[in-house]
């Protein structure tokens, strides 16, 4: 029988879990309806509801719930946003952060409801490639600038002239890369036609489309000239390739590289350490690994030691790693083709 102290401690943990399940929908409502934006100026729930023409009782309960969870401050009867919410609104990656909140609120809970049946052996559902492109765009959008900067620290990848991105998704990274390197030409290969069209639009908006092409197809079978690229990129999509096929994937990438060219695989990794724990990223990435594996044809986050070993078996020479995010929770694993 648990002591009174243990019962209180367990109850607090359960209450925290229940709060966490509600937090994303509450944040999503605040972002989508302009509630947080309006609360840059302290005001009562009644004034907020009148200003935005929303249901007064629900606005009052929404504000009360987020105040209880620490996402709003209250002075007398006036609410205002806390610094974390201001960061969500004002960060250079605000669009990506808010897209991530949207995506998680809309899909994560629904997917996890299926876990009991999947654990018992139910057939895993196929992952919609366009939905996956949206998820990857939301996650990687927070770090695209950092990822481009990280390329500068990879030997042989700091001044690429001819770049191939395998699985370019919606084109965000390719647009950032071409904006940084004005003398770079790039080809994106994307299996999903909808994501490929999004990528073309993104490249046009970034005014770099004259130096880029997006082709629809499977990288493993698409006709691509050998030895024609200095840099081959795989950004946040290695989990879509069966581990048993990684060596063939890397051999094909090596065949498209010029002598001394580099392949760079950007991926989240499951890491332990004080910084990853402090940032809350270890738990988030463990959850991401689980959600990925719940889909048919998706294989979870890679094992780093195995990834280095497979690159060597595929014929690459030197390999190494460069962190993209603090704590190394997202990093590039790179390898150089033999001269």
Q: What is the pLDDT of residues 152-195, one digit of tens each?
A: 999 989 889 999 999 999 999 999 999 988 999 999 999 999 99
250 three-class SS: helix
Q: What is the mean pLDDT of residues 118-136?
A: 85
Residue 1: pLDDT band (50, 70, 90) is low
Which carries the bigger pLDDT value, residue 224 or residue 5?
224
**Per-residue pLDDT at 164:** 97
Q: What is the mean pLDDT of residues 209-237?
A: 94
Average pLDDT over the chain reads 89
Taking the CB of residue 317, how many other CB atoms lie within 10 A of it?
A: 12
Residue 53: pLDDT band (50, 70, 90) is very high
| CA 110 – CA 51 distance, rounded (Å) | 33
**Per-residue pLDDT at 104:** 78
Q: What is the mean pLDDT of residues 41-65?
A: 96
Q: For helices 246-255 and 304-313, give the axis angle rounded to 10 degrees.
A: 50
Say yes or no to pLDDT of 318 above 60: yes
Angle 191-106-198 (CA atoms, 0-180°, nearest 5)? 30
Q: What is the mean pLDDT of residues 114-133?
A: 88
Residue 51: pLDDT band (50, 70, 90) is very high
Work out the burial of residue 17: count CB atoms within 10 Å of its CB; fewer than 13 is exposed, 13-18 middle, 19 or more buried. exposed
DSSP 281-298: HHHHHHHHHHHHHTSBT-
Q: Which two tokens stand for residue 299?
A: 């294989």
Say yes or no to pLDDT of 15 above 80: no
**Per-residue pLDDT at 112:** 87
Q: Which two tokens stand for residue 15?
A: 């209450």
**Per-residue pLDDT at 339:** 66
Q: Nearest Cα to 154, choosing from 226, 236, 232?
A: 232
Which range is most confident: 23-27, 93-97, 279-283? Answer: 23-27
Say yes or no to pLDDT of 2 above 70: no
The shares of helix, strand and coil residues in the chain, as percent rounded to the nearest 5, are 55, 15, 30
């Amino acid at each position: 029988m648990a002591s009174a102290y243990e019962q209180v401690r367990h109850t607090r943990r359960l209450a925290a879990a229940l709060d966490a399940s509600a937090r994303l929908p509450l944040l999503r409502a605040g972002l989508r309806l302009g509630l947080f934006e309006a609360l840059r100026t302290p005001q009562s729930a009644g004034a907020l509801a009148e200003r935005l023409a929303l249901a007064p009782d629900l606005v009052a309960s929404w504000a009360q719930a987020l105040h209880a969870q620490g996402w709003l401050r209250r002075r007398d009867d006036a609410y205002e946003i806390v610094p974390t919410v201001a960061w969500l609104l004002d960060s250079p990656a605000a669009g990506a952060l808010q897209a991530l909140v949207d995506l998680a609120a809309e899909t994560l809970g629904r997917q996890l409801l299926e876990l009991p049946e999947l654990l018992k052996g139910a057939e895993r559902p196929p992952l919609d490639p366009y939905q996956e492109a949206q998820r990857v765009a939301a996650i990687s959008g927070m770090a695209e600038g950092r990822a481009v900067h990280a390329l500068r620290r990879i030997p042989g990848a700091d001044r690429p002239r001819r770049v191939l991105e395998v699985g370019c998704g919606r084109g965000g990274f390719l647009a950032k890369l071409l904006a940084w390197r004005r003398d770079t030409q790039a080809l994106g290969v994307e299996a999903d036609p909808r994501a490929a069209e999004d990528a073309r639009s993104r490249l046009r908006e970034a005014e770099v489309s004259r130096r880029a092409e997006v082709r629809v197809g499977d990288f493993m079978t698409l006709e691509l000239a050998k030895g024609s690229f200095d840099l081959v990129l795989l950004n946040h999509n290695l989990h879509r390739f069966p581990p048993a096929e990684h060596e063939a994937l890397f051999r094909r990438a090596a065949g498209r590289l010029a002598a001394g060219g580099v392949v760079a695989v950007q991926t989240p990794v499951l890491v332990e350490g004080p910084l990853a724990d402090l940032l809350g990223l270890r738990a988030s990435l463990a959850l991401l690994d689980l959600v990925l594996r719940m889909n048919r044809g998706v294989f979870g986050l890679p094992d780093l030691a195995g990834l280095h070993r497979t690159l060597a078996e595929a014929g690459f020479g030197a390999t190494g790693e460069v962190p993209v995010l603090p704590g190394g929770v997202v990093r590039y694993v790179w390898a150089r083709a033999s001269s």
